[in-house]
Amino acid sequence: MQKLMILTLFLIALWSLPTYAQSGTCVIDLSSAAATLVQAQAQASSGDNPAAIAKLRELQAQIDAIIANCDWTATTSLPDNTPIPTEPLPLLTNTPQPRPTIPPIARRFTAQNGVLSFLLPAGWVANEQGNSVFIGASADTANAVSSFNPPIGTELGAGLIVGTPQQLAPTLREGANFVDVLVAYRSQLNLNGFTTSEDLTPVTWRDNPGGRFIFASPTITGIIQVIDLQSSELHLLIFVASQPEQSGQLEALLIELLDSVEINL
């Protein structure tokens, strides 16, 4: 009974659509089919399902006749000499197709001693030297920043070093802290002709105290930050550098690196 009601609703909706005379002898007239449908619904409502089903079969025959009468005209309405457009089949080829470009993904770099790890920006190169790791958008930049030389072109570079204050700045005495490391680096850079920020800026990294300053020359600009890893005697020194025209990108690079750094003591 439910299926009959669904079919009834569908055909009534179909009947309500406008009908159009087609070319040739095709005329779609659903008035007779609609009358048969109403009769089938009446039989079903009175409980005489066999009679209702018989009417539905009659209805189906009427609809099949309309379809059979009109279906052929859709394919023969064109003149005999009019070609029927067809879509060409795609040609198979044995020529290798180029691979889709996949954006490079940052990977986690771990130093050989296992203490330091961080996310190396996509496509960058790492140059590990003892307890220091210098990175850049190319091998030339990674090598350049290891000597505080400017990165290549518009590239950025950085360095990460984990060690005691004496390892970070060999001139320091026992008991030195991160402030002493920063002062030692700033003094050395000033002697080499760099300008540096007058004051050290205090920072905190994951509840560990630290500080930073900015350095610059006509060819290179950068930020040096030193963090006291209070759970040990070790400190983390991190610096980022670029040519002066790209200095606006350094803060974002520093934050990105520090967010990914892991220290495994």
- Of 22, 57, 76, the one marking the end of a domain is 76
d(CA 9, CA 54): 19
Query: Which stretch of 39-48, 74-83, 112-121 has the lowest confidence by average pLDDT?
Result: 74-83
pTM across the whole model: 0.61
Partner residues linked to 111 by β-bridges: none
Higher pLDDT: 265 or 133? It is 133
**Which of the 8 DSSP states describes residue 95?**
S
- Of 76, 94, 126, the one marking the end of a domain is 76
The pairing of strands 221-228 and 201-205 is: unpaired
Domain for residue 242, yes or no?
yes
What's the CATH code of the domain at 150? 3.40.1000.10
- Of 54, 76, 98, the one marking the end of a domain is 76
Task: Give the SS3 label for residue 198.
Answer: coil
Whether residues 242 and 125 fall in one domain: yes
Whether residues 144 and 212 fall in one domain: yes
Instruction: Give residue for tokens 């850079």.
Output: 189
Supply the mean pLDDT for the chain. Answer: 81
Query: Which stretch of 101-105, 112-116, 242-246, 256-260 has the lowest confidence by average pLDDT?
Result: 101-105
Instruction: Give residue for tokens 């859709």.
Output: 74
Structural domain of 128: 107-263
d(CA 119, CA 106): 6
Half-sphere exposure of residue 108: CA atoms within 13 angstroms, side-chain side:
9
Whether residues 130 and 29 fall in one domain: no
Whether residues 44 and 140 fall in one domain: no
**What is the arithmetic mean of pLDDT over 119-125?**
94
The band of 21, judged by pLDDT with boundaries at 50, 70 and 90, is: very low
Tell me the pLDDT tens digit for each residue of 126-185. 999 999 999 999 999 999 999 989 999 999 999 999 999 999 999 999 899 999 999 999
Query: Which stretch of 99-108, 220-229, 248-257 has the lowest confidence by average pLDDT?
Result: 99-108
Number of domains composing the chain: 2
Please tell me the predicted confidence (pLDDT) of residue 28. 72
Whether residues 43 and 174 fall in one domain: no
Whether residues 123 and 223 fall in one domain: yes
Please tell me the predicted confidence (pLDDT) of residue 59. 77
Domain for residue 89, yes or no?
no
Whether residues 65 and 8 fall in one domain: yes
Whether residues 138 and 232 fall in one domain: yes
Domain for residue 94, yes or no?
no
Which own/partner contact pairs does 38-44 have at CB distance under 8 Å and 24+ positions apart? 40/4, 40/8, 41/4, 41/8, 44/1, 44/4
Strand 116-120's sheet: what is its strand order? 107-110, 116-120, 262-263
**What is the arithmetic mean of pLDDT over 255-265?**
94
Domain for residue 96, yes or no?
no
Please tell me the predicted confidence (pLDDT) of residue 89. 52
Whether residues 69 and 128 fall in one domain: no
Which residues, 6 or more positions from 123, have their beta carbon under 8 angstroms from its beta carbon?
104, 137
- Angle formed at CA 145 by CA 239 and CA 240, multiple of 5 degrees: 25
Whether residues 128 and 180 fall in one domain: yes
Residue 110 has pLDDT above 70, yes or no: yes
Tell me the pLDDT tens digit for each residue of 192-216. 999 999 899 999 999 999 999 999 9
Whether residues 67 and 128 fall in one domain: no
213 contacts 186 by C-beta, under 8 angstroms: yes
Whether residues 238 and 119 fall in one domain: yes
Picking from 214, 223, 217, 212, the residue whose alpha carbon sits closest to that of residue 150 is 217
Please tell me the predicted confidence (pLDDT) of residue 15. 43
